[in-house]
Structure 1
């Protein structure tokens, strides 16, 4: 394993220790509230709600699906399997998670304290010139270097031992907070029902868009061609000199109709996606955007055509919003494949303040993503920047 990867694993272990310690601290508070709920029945619904909130926080941290709606009676602790598992997790995590998290964070702090000890021990008060584990006062530089070696030892623990401790801390959550067979099936059915509805809505919206494009654009052009051709036929008899001008106008109208028809066809599935790749399609899309766009694509392989088309149209809609509403001077499109997921992120430096629940463009993005069991996240603080991130399963 490379040094860079090992360092990344160590840093991730410290981060997970910190977040795990926080949920363990909250679990301890829930422990107290559950005890109160046993004594004061009216407090039970509130305590069970806090239990579910902290358990769901841990589920999000571990990447597990959210739980079913909680029960509202303390009898659920003993009668409902899901609530019972959450209660057992709370009791274990409040103790095990708290102490492992505290140990790991202490080690992380001691890396800095002892690793840099040779640099600061002389300027520290005499009573503080000790290593983290409380050895006697250090009086010599050689002793200070020995403490520095202890900091290196703590770094070794962080890189090689702490990840195992983190897995031990997370083990109760992974075993007790995952949904049971019945819950998992019910949640999956609800999820599939929602995504099927989203897919049907997205399909209906796309059909209406194509219908409007053909009706308002191409059809009107073809009607104009028909009218001009009729006028040209009459002009051949009455005023042959003007027939050529009318035919030229009819040709221009037919060329415009053909161009609009090609645009509609490209909007259904851009040919560049078939002929080349999603990276090339995004680069072509960026080139036509009024706002300067930088494309960063890391796609070693191809995804399913429907997934690439969804990513393309999400980027197109997001860049359209950037050009129309953001007032941005620059935008960035980043797309990468991560295991079996395709991650697309569009960021602009505009004024921000976009409403994630408003506007047909954002609604269309969400519907397209949900039709593929994808997720959409948008952050847009006032003053910017605005970021739209879409994650799509790509089946690779």
Structure 2
């Protein structure tokens, strides 16, 4: 059996466990909110809906937004809903509100059961696989752990429990992704806005993204102009002065001309070096020569903080996507070295369907913010210019986690 296939299945099982755990959290919120809606429904029968419904809607919207954020983190983005209606009558007619309440009912019941089932399997696996080590500590008359109902009479029965644990492990790995998709399906179907609302929100988002792209493009042009003006242009001016001095020295003092030409050659080499740096900043040639994995390996190897790199990107992505991912990692590592005080940083890049996911995690002091002028705002603009997603989690004391998703085609 292919080792890569096994690793992929295990990784999928771990990701599914994370999804199910997050879904269990939002399902608990949905269940609590659903229970809270019962007196609201009774109040509507008694004619008190005008007072109770507007108070209940923010709770429904809060839970639905939490699920939208969770689903966006693990897959295609779900655009947020429009503002809540002002009156109870408008709310009852609003399709988005009705869909959110329907999702609340499904996710608070079925989603909760799927989350419990998904989380229980790994617990049973650990319990059953380790059972031969501690089976003597329990009363044999009460049976085995978990769902094991038969009497444990000795080591042979304990090993039978271990086999059950192995079967549970296989089920967790194989069924986990399906359970996670089933748990997420109601949210994927009911929480996105529909029809004209979705189109209007998407147009607004694209308008903002286009403005961000233009701003990022203008900032990049200004950076290139400054690099050429302050560096390369000054070197070329100095070179021109030295060449003119060398020409005059040939007539007056030929011995001094050689020294001036040496200085001119040094100036030319510095100008070429700075010009190459500007060109590499526009589109690094290493991406063409070594691909994204090789280019990132070079960044990790030259990072002053020990960097652990993992790249799983079969094939090639679009040049613009690879360049964006490269610059995101380069800027993030620069921030880690300058500002974080970290002892280690890890970079994970993998392709998931039509999305390229980049995660940078460091164990530094945390507290990173886009307003601090550390280049994070520039990273966000660059990512959003390609209709990507940028998320930063950096509590005080660390760790700092940066997640970037870029569309890269199918």
Q: Does 1:27 align with 2:33?
A: yes
Q: Contact (CA 8 Å) 1:26, 1:54: kept in 2 or not?
A: no
Q: Does 1:84 align with 2:98?
A: yes
Q: Does 1:289 align with 2:295?
A: no
Q: Does 1:50 align with 2:56?
A: no
- Correspondence for 2:21 among 15, 27, 37: 15
- Correspondence for 1:228 among 242, 260, 272: 242
Secondary structure, aligned partner of 1:335: strand
Q: Contact (CA 8 Å) 2:100, 2:190: kept in 1 or not?
A: yes
Secondary structure, aligned partner of 1:302: coil
**Structure 1 residues 119 and 383, CA, compared in 2 at 3 Å: closer, same or farther?**
closer
Q: How does 1:1-396 map to 2 (within 5 A)?
A: 5=9, 8=13, 11=17, 15=21, 18-19=24-25, 21-32=27-38, 34-35=40-41, 38=44, 39=48, 41=50, 44-63=53-72, 65=78, 66-98=80-112, 123-124=137-138, 148=161, 155=168, 171-396=185-410
C-alpha distance in structure 2 between counterparts of 1:260 and 1:162, whole Å: 53
**Structure 1 residues 268 and 164, CA, compared in 2 at 3 Å: closer, same or farther?**
closer
Deviates more, 1:237-246 or 1:306-315: 237-246
Q: Contact (CA 8 Å) 2:124, 2:165: kept in 1 or not?
A: no
Q: Contact (CA 8 Å) 1:37, 1:74: kept in 2 or not?
A: no
Q: Contact (CA 8 Å) 1:115, 1:147: kept in 2 or not?
A: no
Shift of 1:91: 3.7
Deviates more, 1:289-298 or 1:115-124: 115-124
Shift of 1:354: 1.9
Deviates more, 1:199-208 or 1:378-387: 378-387
Deviates more, 1:252-261 or 1:81-90: 81-90
Q: Contact (CA 8 Å) 1:107, 1:158: kept in 2 or not?
A: yes
Q: Contact (CA 8 Å) 2:349, 2:357: kept in 1 or not?
A: yes
The answer for unaligned runs of 5 or more in structure 2 is none
Shift of 1:44: 4.0
CA deviations 1:152-177 (Å, max 9, x no partner) are 69949877888777766655444332
Q: Contact (CA 8 Å) 1:31, 1:91: kept in 2 or not?
A: no
Q: Contact (CA 8 Å) 1:369, 1:375: kept in 2 or not?
A: yes
Rg larger for: 1
**Structure 1 residues 353 and 164, CA, compared in 2 at 3 Å: closer, same or farther?**
closer
**Structure 1 residues 382 and 174, CA, compared in 2 at 3 Å: closer, same or farther?**
closer
Shift of 1:12: 6.4
**Structure 1 residues 343 and 242, CA, compared in 2 at 3 Å: closer, same or farther?**
same
Secondary structure, aligned partner of 2:59: helix
**Structure 1 residues 371 and 36, CA, compared in 2 at 3 Å: closer, same or farther?**
farther
Shift of 1:239: 3.3
C-alpha distance in structure 1 between counterparts of 2:144 and 2:408, whole Å: 55
The answer for unaligned runs of 5 or more in structure 1 is none
**Structure 1 residues 176 and 336, CA, compared in 2 at 3 Å: closer, same or farther?**
closer
TM-score by length of 2: 0.79
Deviates more, 1:350-359 or 1:181-190: 350-359
C-alpha distance in structure 2 between counterparts of 1:164 and 1:341, whole Å: 20
Shift of 1:29: 4.2
